């Protein structure tokens, strides 16, 4: 093995970026060769002149394919890549020890900075893939909404899809949020987790939880707090207690929970978890539109937020009063109906009402946003009455979860190409625009007859933002009309 070979370059980077030492070089070379295969070709493993571990890793994975160590599909390539990056990832006990040492000595931000940088350096956070996402903002009556077209997750080819369908489901780990994922090799139909680490923490009610970052982050330091137990998501008093407990530990982060009912809930309802991070979402910047107070909760300020969805914001330095009031609002909402605005607490024994809660700290005060949700369906709106309506499905038809509630749209990758065709249509050029975009495009053209190539992209971004504004208004249980806001105040007064 030549001293300047690709394998040697990679091993140099392992030693430089991990606990391994120079004495470990030969051992590491042999470990890497065991993964990617040996090759007698003198031209194999030629150096690329780079010290970028991710580039070196990608080349070694390619060698693994050429040497028939792995099949050439995304799932297996990802597993080999995670195994290679695991060389610079300390053991879970070491990561936790270093995290909490920094936490105690330098504070919460220093600890999360350490873990965040490690999760990027070892390719658990897919920084290269995330950079592919398209991001822009759009000015609306509710402030600048954020839009991302999600291109970070690789599209699967037909062969990969076929392999996933035929692969057995072992039932281990039970789901992608279980602690058992830490260090798990992965399968063709299950993500690679060799380089995955979880910070252990105990909440103030003595529950064991974990903290990790999201591999395909939608915003800065997008993280996940997960229960050590595999149990279904539930919004109740404990939810508010846990959220504020997490904020106490990490006051520089926000933390929120998806709702616990289908249609208005998140994609994983089987495992109790929350999401957080370092990002100031549009909803967090939105002002209070109507203030109110509650009897027996004199240390809590309340208000209705100026937002397309129906949000009650509670602010207090008194954590106990805040939790008790939030619980009272949740319990009231669970059983509250108002036929005048089509709100029904339950039907046929199935509950329809829940809350999407978000917690943050501003100076010394806790701030808790309670977003009212309703998952009813009807003949007219089979996907959900308070869900993006059908005329918006050409842009967004998926559930509105925690991140979108706060004002960041996560749009499907198909729109990257489709919006380019819409632009060509608007400019009168030859195009292959999907027919489901035509009513929207014609509406834009009617309002903007004079279009040019210099302004078309900015115009489409504004129009997509208007669609997302409508999406949030559709998901709002109390509409922004006079009737809707009167009904909203009526609910608040009933508590």
The span from the CA of 483 to the CA of 106, in Å, is 52
Q: Per the domain annotation, does 181 fall within a domain? A: no
Q: Per the domain annotation, does 226 fall within a domain? A: no
Residue 435 neighbours by CB under 8 Å, 6+ apart:
none
The span from the CA of 300 to the CA of 327, in Å, is 13
Taking the mean position of all CA atoms in its chain, how far away is CA 15?
Answer: 33
pTM of the model: 0.93
Q: Per the domain annotation, does 22 fall within a domain? A: yes
Q: What is the pLDDT of residues 225-246, one digit of tens each?
A: 999 999 999 999 999 999 999 9
The span from the CA of 329 to the CA of 91, in Å, is 44
Q: So what's the pLDDT on residue 3?
A: 56
Q: Supply the range of the domain harboring residue 50.
A: 6-69
Q: Is residue 458 domain-shared with residue 419, that is, in the same domain?
A: yes
Q: Per the domain annotation, does 332 fall within a domain? A: no
Q: Per the domain annotation, does 172 fall within a domain? A: no
**What is the rounded (10 degree) CA torsion for 146, 150, 151, 152?**
100
Q: Is residue 115 domain-shared with residue 61, that is, in the same domain?
A: no
The span from the CA of 125 to the CA of 217, in Å, is 7
Q: So what's the pLDDT on residue 316?
A: 97
Confirm if 428 and 441 have CB atoms less than 8 A apart.
no
Q: So what's the pLDDT on residue 161?
A: 52
Q: Per the domain annotation, does 470 fall within a domain? A: yes
Q: So what's the pLDDT on residue 171?
A: 84
CA angle at residue 459 from 457 to 463, to 5 degrees?
Answer: 115
Q: So what's the pLDDT on residue 157?
A: 54
Q: Per the domain annotation, does 158 fall within a domain? A: no
pLDDT in tens, the chain (495 residues): 555 589 999 999 999 999 999 999 999 999 999 999 987 554 556 666 677 999 999 999 999 999 999 988 888 999 999 999 999 999 999 999 999 999 999 999 999 999 999 999 999 999 999 999 999 999 999 999 999 999 987 665 555 555 555 666 778 999 999 999 999 999 988 999 999 999 999 998 889 999 999 999 999 999 999 999 999 999 999 999 999 999 999 999 999 999 999 899 777 889 999 999 999 999 999 999 999 999 899 999 999 999 999 999 999 999 999 999 999 999 999 999 999 999 999 998 899 999 999 999 998 899 999 999 999 999 999 999 999 999 999 999 998 999 999 999 999 999 999 999 999 999 999 999 999 999 999 999 999 888 899 999 999 999 999 999 999 999 999 999 999 999 999 999 998
Q: Which of 453, 448, 402, 409 is nearest to 427 (CA)?
A: 453
Q: Per the domain annotation, does 170 fall within a domain? A: no
Q: Which two tokens stand for residue 70?
A: 């792995």
Q: So what's the pLDDT on residue 160?
A: 56
Q: Is residue 60 domain-shared with residue 101, that is, in the same domain?
A: no
Q: What is the pLDDT of residues 8-65, one digit of tens each?
A: 999 999 999 999 999 999 999 999 999 999 875 545 566 666 779 999 999 999 999 9
The span from the CA of 136 to the CA of 148, in Å, is 7
The span from the CA of 359 to the CA of 326, in Å, is 11
Q: So what's the pLDDT on residue 254?
A: 98
Q: How many domains does the chain have?
A: 3
Q: Is residue 65 domain-shared with residue 96, that is, in the same domain?
A: no
**Which residues in 115-126 are b (16+ Cβ under 10 Å) and which e?**
bbebbbbbbbbb
Q: So what's the pLDDT on residue 450?
A: 84
Give me the long-range contacts of 314-317 (CB less than 8 A, separation at least 24).
Answer: 314/367, 314/368, 314/369, 314/370, 315/362, 315/365, 315/366, 315/367, 315/368, 316/365, 316/366, 317/364, 317/365, 317/366
Cα separations in angstroms, 182 against 97, 228, 268, 297, 415? 16, 12, 18, 43, 34
Q: Is residue 414 domain-shared with residue 469, that is, in the same domain?
A: yes
């Amino acid at each position: 093995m030549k001293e300047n070979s690709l394998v040697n370059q990679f091993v140099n980077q392992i030693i430089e970026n991990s606990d391994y030492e120079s004495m470990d070089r030969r051992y590491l070379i042999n470990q890497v060769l065991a993964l990617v295969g040996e090759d007698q070709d003198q031209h194999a493993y030629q150096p690329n002149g780079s010290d970028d571990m991710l580039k070196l890793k990608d080349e070694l994975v390619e060698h693994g394919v050429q040497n028939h160590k792995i099949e050439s599909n995304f799932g297996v390539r990802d597993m080999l890549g995670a195994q290679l990056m695991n060389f610079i990832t300390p053991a879970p006990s070491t990561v936790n020890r270093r995290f909490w040492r920094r936490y105690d000595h330098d504070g919460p931000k220093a600890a999360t900075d350490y873990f965040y940088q490690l999760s990027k350096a070892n390719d658990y956070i897919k920084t290269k893939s995330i950079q592919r996402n398209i991001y822009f903002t759009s000015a609306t009556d509710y402030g600048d909404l954020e839009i991302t077209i999600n291109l970070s997750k690789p599209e699967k080819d037909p062969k990969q899809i076929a392999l996933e369908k035929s692969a057995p489901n072992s039932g281990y780990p039970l789901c992608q949020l279980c602690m058992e994922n830490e260090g798990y090799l992965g399968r063709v139909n299950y993500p690679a987790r060799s380089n995955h680490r979880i910070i252990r923490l105990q909440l103030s009610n003595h529950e064991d939880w974990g903290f990790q970052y999201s591999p395909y982050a939608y915003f800065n330091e997008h993280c996940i707090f997960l229960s050590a137990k595999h149990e279904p998501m539930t919004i109740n008093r404990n939810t508010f207690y846990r959220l504020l407990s997490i904020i106490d530990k990490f006051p520089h982060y926000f933390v929120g929970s998806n709702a616990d009912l289908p249609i208005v809930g998140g994609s994983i309802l089987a495992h109790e978890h929350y999401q957080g991070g370092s990002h100031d979402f549009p909803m967090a910047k939105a002002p209070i539109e109507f203030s109110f107070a509650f009897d027996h909760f004199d240390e809590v300020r309340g208000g209705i937020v100026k937002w397309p969805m129906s949000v009650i914001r509670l602010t207090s330095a008194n954590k106990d009063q805040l939790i008790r009031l939030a619980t009272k609002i949740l319990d009231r909402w669970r059983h509250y109906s108002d036929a005048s605005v089509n709100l029904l607490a339950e039907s046929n024994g199935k509950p329809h009402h829940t809350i999407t809660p978000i917690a943050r700290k501003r100076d010394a005060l806790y701030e808790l946003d309670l977003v009212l949700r309703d998952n009813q369906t009807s003949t007219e709106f089979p996907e959900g009455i308070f869900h993006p309506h059908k005329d918006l499905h050409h842009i967004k038809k998926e559930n509105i979860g925690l991140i979108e509630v706060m004002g960041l749209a996560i749009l499907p990758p198909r729109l990257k190409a489709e919006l380019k065709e819409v632009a060509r249509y608007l400019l009168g050029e030859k195009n292959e625009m999907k027919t489901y975009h035509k009513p929207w495009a014609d509406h834009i053209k009617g309002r903007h007859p004079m279009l040019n190539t210099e302004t078309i992209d900015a115009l489409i971004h504004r129009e997509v933002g208007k669609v997302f504004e409508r999406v949030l208004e559709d998901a709002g249980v109390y509409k922004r009309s006079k009737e809707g806001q009167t009904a909203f105040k009526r609910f608040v007064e009933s508590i």
